[in-house]
A and B are shown apart, each in its own frame.
Chain A
């Protein structure tokens, strides 16, 4: 591994200060950062350890929202009683990601910031606009089956955002709280991850030296049920080919409110707003779900090897909505 300086911060402000002035990376769990430093894709000269920051709490706010510290592990968040009870989609998404031991290390902030799994990005030599702006994209016209998107792609980059947790957060709605050299601000979760467009090297809305301190989930929709369905090449320990996180509230058999977010198919955690709108006021039937699923992929662009993701993603939506609205004994 390349050599770098190490500094352990004991406060948010100290972390931001230590990060400034040279090529630095924060390290939380290290499960993305060290993976990529070892293959020299990320090249920090200084690593700022944020494990000593007081960001380990999950706090219910008076307005019904849930404030999650950036250092809360994926395991602790998945099993937190409030998350299990009120945000099942998030608990299920977290538990579908990575492995037991990785989830113990992976943090909320680090998961939001995880990098793409595109093999051409990781190999260090192929044309890749994300790694080396202007060099091209080896995935377009290359092997683009499993970790490449059909929604939100551009001619510069088609890599999927790999997170499961973020799909659930996109469905729930959230704010990302950050602190930087100019103080604190909040970013809407749906604005946090950026479409690749003409600058795929720019992946998120953080400014230089800004640190994520919390993610605040919107209050759960009254009377809703939620679930996460992840479809992949093997049953466990694999990134999504397509996934669907849904939240639905029904009045009798009529859909009163609905949220749909998709993973494995989009270049960012993908919220399918038009599909949601098409469900509201409709009966909770397979026919309504199919119509919504079609709308969700209306603008999709298939590439040579991943066209199957369109029907797969649609089926994921139908099945997760069916599950979330099924009568319970």
Chain B
């Protein structure tokens, strides 16, 4: 990470490098820019959503070095050199990722605002060797992703039908 000359209130922006959805990106961020705001406001990757901005809803969940986190409670500067995957990075070669297909097939959303976060948590949950495969274990592991439309039943079905495919 190196400091650049850009300044706001006397504080310099920092230049950081991310491996974002498989691509190397160099960006300048102020220290107080969250990872979520960097993705949405600077890089225009608006698939990741801002629900509460306080760690309470999971709409902003992304993968950092293979682990799911809430991007609203992380500073962008803390991620210099990190590998980041957002919902835009799920599909490969124009093919929907199995979890995306399952959300379609199971009708696992209504307004869709929570969906990106749900899918990012779901792919992590499906790949975690510590999290059990029962419906209850999945419900518990995904309880940090709130769905105001109440699509939980179909979200659970989508996650379970993707098991073994990711």
Does the CB pair A6–B144 fall under 8 Å? no
Complex Cα–Cα for A3 and B145 (A): 29
Chain A interface extent, by class: 20 to 34
Cβ distance B66 to chain A, nearest Cβ, rounded Å: 10
- By a CB distance below 8 angstroms, the chain A residues around B14 are 6
Does the CB pair B69–A6 fall under 8 Å? no
- By a CB distance below 8 angstroms, the chain B residues around A3 are 8-9, 11, 30-32
Cβ distance A10 to chain B, nearest Cβ, rounded Å: 12
- By a CB distance below 8 angstroms, the chain B residues around A235 are 140, 143
How many Cβ-Cβ contacts under 8 Å join chain A to chain B? 92
Tell me if A133 counts as interface (CB < 8 A to partner B).
no
Complex Cα–Cα for A49 and B11 (A): 16
Does the CB pair A4–B11 fall under 8 Å? yes
Does the CB pair A30–B78 fall under 8 Å? yes
8 Å CB interface, A245-286 against B: none
- By a CB distance below 8 angstroms, the chain B residues around A31 are 55, 70, 73
Does the CB pair A30–B75 fall under 8 Å? yes
Complex Cα–Cα for A157 and B54 (A): 24
Name the CB-closest residue of A to B140.
A236
Query: Binary interface profile of A, 279-321, with partner B (CB < 8 Å = 1, else 0)?
Result: 0000000000000000000000000000000000000000000
Name the CB-closest residue of A to B60.
A101
Complex Cα–Cα for A2 and B9 (A): 11
Complex Cα–Cα for A5 and B8 (A): 11
Instruction: Give the number of residues in B that approach A within 8 Å (Cβ atoms).
Output: 36
Tell me if B108 counts as interface (CB < 8 A to partner A).
no
Cβ distance B37 to chain A, nearest Cβ, rounded Å: 9
Tell me if B44 counts as interface (CB < 8 A to partner A).
no
Does the CB pair B9–A102 fall under 8 Å? no
Does the CB pair B75–A101 fall under 8 Å? no
Does the CB pair B32–A99 fall under 8 Å? no
Given A3-B8, A4-B11, A236-B139, A101 contacting B68 (CB threshold 8 A): yes
Tell me if A104 counts as interface (CB < 8 A to partner B).
yes
Query: Binary interface profile of A, 62-102, with partner B (CB < 8 Å = 1, else 0)?
Result: 00000000000001000100000000000000000011111
Known contacts A99-B145, A104-B67, A236-B140, then 5 further A-B pairs from the complex at CB < 8 Å, ordered by chain A residue:
A31-B70, A31-B73, A38-B53, A99-B58, A101-B68
Q: List 20 A-B contacts (CB under 8 A).
A: A1-B32, A2-B32, A6-B31, A29-B73, A31-B70, A35-B54, A35-B55, A37-B32, A38-B53, A49-B75, A99-B145, A101-B61, A101-B124, A102-B70, A102-B73, A102-B144, A105-B70, A105-B73, A235-B140, A236-B139
Hey, which bits of chain A sit against chain B, CB under 8 A? 1-6, 8, 27, 29-31, 34-35, 37-38, 47, 49, 51, 75, 79, 98-102, 104-105, 235-237
